[in-house]
A and B are shown apart, each in its own frame.
Chain A
Amino acid sequence: MEPPNLYPVKLYVYDLSKGLARRLSPIMLGKQLEGIWHTSIVVHKDEFYFGSGGISSCPPGGTLLGPPDSVVDVGSTEVTEELFQEYLSSLGESLFRREAYNIFENNCNTFTNEVAQFLTGRKIPSYITDLPSEILSTKCKQSMKVQR
């Protein structure tokens, strides 16, 4: 039996605030946020991400954000490119439709998490997936303060 091909899977992490969140979050939110993370999965020499336009792909580092701020090695996968495309299209029709984008509940990091688990069985680092809840908790606190 021939050894299966293993394709590396990488996670590209971008800080959308370009460092501003780290500096301003204590003032604005009351807690320290290291960044506003946007992630994408790079596999089969393509970068896949979920945004307002649905699931999209581009050459690695080819988005407007430029090169990633950090790269996380997720693992490797046997999933072929064709199979991956099938999987993405099924996702794109179900969970990650274009209109299903929700900045807190169903965002790019949600997608990346799903895909990473499919490809490798591993999740993406928790500091990325916990970001919405962190922000929301601060906002709740703030709104509660305002209400008083």
Chain B
Amino acid sequence: MAEDEEGLTWTELSGHSSGMPADKNISSSVTRVIVKTAGKQEDFMIADDTSVRQFKEKLSTHFKCQMDQLVLVFMGRLLKDHDTLSQRGILDGHTIHLVIKSKRSSRSLAHSSRNLSTKEPCHQVRNTEGNTNGVYQPAGVSHTPLESALLVEPDAPKVHSQDLEVSGPEYIAQMLQNPSIQQLLSNTDLVRQFISEHPDMQQLMQQSPEVSYILDNSDILWQTLELARNLAMIQEIMQIQQPEQILEHPLNPQSHLGLETLPGGDNALGQSYVDCNDQMLNSSQDLFGGNPFPALLEGQVLQQLQSSPPSPPPPQERQDQLPQLPTTRVIYTSSHGLSSITSASVTPNKVNHTPSTHTTTISTKGPSPTCPIQQPARVPALPSIELTQQPQTEDIDATISLDSSDQKLEDDLQPSDEQTKSQITGSMMQLLLNNPYLAAQMMLFISMPQLSEQYRQQLPTFLQQTQLSDMLIALANPKASQAILQIEQGLQLLATEAPVLLPWVAPYLWGLGWLPAPSCSHPDTVPWAWDVPDIAEPKGPECCHKSGTGLQSLQSLAGDPSHLLQAPEIRFSQQMESLQAMGFGNHHANLQALIATEGDTSAAIRKLKRSHGF
């Protein structure tokens, strides 16, 4: 075995040194010690009276290292060179631990930092080593005082003029932690001098004199240093540069709101907001082709199964129609054949944005020419806008169409009516919450400086109140939105193919489409998919944000098909009579108008008038 041979070798050596006969392998003064190092161990046979120093010599040749790299530990005690093994109680079979220090660790750490500062030759270090450590000497070249101040390591400063490849990051970090270094860095004069005398910096300063100005400003230097130390600040600044990331977290208004609190952050934010605002405005205008509702109202058809092409609204009309928007109610279905558009004088528009947030869906609904949105939004995240039926008069959720909201926003956003204003806000919030992407756009859009305060205040409370988190999560799921889309398409198909089956699926149709008034009414036999009857939601002007969740409001919508299933003729018999008395002879048209306006006679009248071109 190699160990035995080695043991013999050691014995020979020790025998020579101590005068023992070489052929005696085992003697009372020779001990076998185990030397453990770095996960391996080896046996050594040495004489008892071997001094530690001699042992180290042997070990150094064995392990091929220098003696001063060796550290022997026995029972937790460091073995000094002048001891003997027996003095330390090292007996046969004991284990001595050996640590072979790496070469670079035997040098002072200060020298490792030299790579950072200068490329001065090492002898300077030695020269300045005699200087008082830690004292900043303003005289002389900037390098030397820096170096002398660096030599504050408590370890024995062995000066090695060897390689300085030790400027690894850990050494830099260690150096930075040194309080004397920090004291140095706090001295802006020194830092400035230090930086400016670096050849690269001088080159840079020649190229751009602004840099020298920066360096002259001690405040900037100080702030830069502070900034560099504070990683959090850097991260925030990075966020400023990437406002688009904010879009990913639309429902976290604090994320970008916090940026505004940063000093100077507002400037960067403001620019990005302006850019996004412009983009938003342009896209939304294109999206709606201006005000869609007058177009719809102009070219609309009262009958169910007709559709009329919208006439592009002239701008004047748009302006004219603008004041009516809060009171205009548009009922629209996405189906091909089931579009009927009415207007009511009371309720604002309700726009339920379906969760299908892709503009492609807009174009798929293109065949229905009454679709107000024909042009895919430039902003790809804007969803397809579907105006859904408002079967209830009372269900004034105060949701304004996006377009009207946009226009209000862009038109100085100072609606005269205070209540409408709050309604608009509420409705917009509702709208935004239904569509995360849209909310993101609107967030930036809204956060124009003059509005930021107002909406910022309203946002958290509204978000709390609506508590739409569950629904949002569900709606944000693209597959869910696609599923709802498919449901709607299926229902449309059913409506065209077999309208008689519609009552059976009426519960499913809440909020999704406009049901033609079925003559048959089976309120009891129709399978209810939803617990509609159980939900007695307060209807009326309580907006969504007042009554609770949007889901509840939608569910309350679902309660209405029950009314529909009752013969509308019976429901609206009174209104029908009044309409007849006024001279509207078309019984069927009257009925349709009344159905559309939920028995609102005046709204029905208006609707009928428009259809007849008055």
Binding site for B on A (CB under 8 A): 4, 9, 75-79, 82-83, 86-87, 90-91, 93-96, 117-122
Contact = CB atoms under 8 A, between A and B. Distances in A.
A94 B99 contact: no
A79 to B, nearest CB: 6
Contacts of B97: 87, 117-118
A91 B39 contact: yes
A120 B101 CA distance: 19
Given A83-B101, A86-B102, A90-B100, A121 B74 contact: yes
Given A82-B105, A90-B100, A117-B97, A95 B77 contact: no
A95 B101 contact: no
Interface in B39-84: 39-40, 71, 73-78
B182 interface: no
A37 to B, nearest CB: 23
Given A83-B99, A83-B101, A4 B78 contact: yes
Contact of A75 (B36, B76, B155): B76
Nearest to A4: B78
B76 A78 contact: yes
B37 interface: yes
12 contacts: A75-B76, A76-B76, A77-B73, A86-B101, A90-B37, A90-B99, A94-B40, A95-B38, A95-B40, A117-B95, A121-B95, A122-B75
Contacts of B78: 4, 78-79, 83
Main secondary structure on chain B at its contact with chain A? strand
B76 A94 contact: no
A79 B71 CA distance: 10
A124 to B, nearest CB: 14
Nearest to B38: A90
A96 B40 CA distance: 12
B578 to A, nearest CB: 76
A78 B77 contact: yes
A120 B37 CA distance: 15
A4 to B, nearest CB: 7
A120 B39 contact: no
Interface of B: 36-40, 71, 73-78, 95, 97, 99-102, 105, 155
Contacts of B74: 121
Given A4-B77, A119-B73, 15 more contacts: A9-B76, A75-B76, A77-B73, A79-B73, A79-B78, A82-B105, A82-B155, A86-B99, A86-B102, A86-B105, A90-B37, A93-B38, A94-B38, A94-B39, A119-B76
A135 B74 CA distance: 33
Contacts of B71: 83, 86
Contacts of B37: 90
Nearest to B40: A94
Contacts of A96: 39
Contact of B76 (A79, A82, A86, A93): A79
A93 B71 CA distance: 18
B536 to A, nearest CB: 51
A111 to B, nearest CB: 11
Nearest to B69: A86
Residue of A82, A94, A118 with highest tally of chain B CB at under 10 A: A118
Nearest to B80: A1
Contacts of B102: 86
B105 A90 contact: no
A90 B39 contact: yes
Nearest to A89: B102
Nearest to B82: A1
Contacts of B100: 90
Contacts of A9: 76
A86 B37 CA distance: 11
Given A87-B99, A90-B99, A121 B38 contact: no
A95 B39 contact: yes
A118 B39 contact: no
A76 B76 CA distance: 7
A77 B39 contact: no
Nearest to B99: A87
Contact of A120 (B36, B38, B76, B99): B76
B379 to A, nearest CB: 45
A95 B78 CA distance: 23
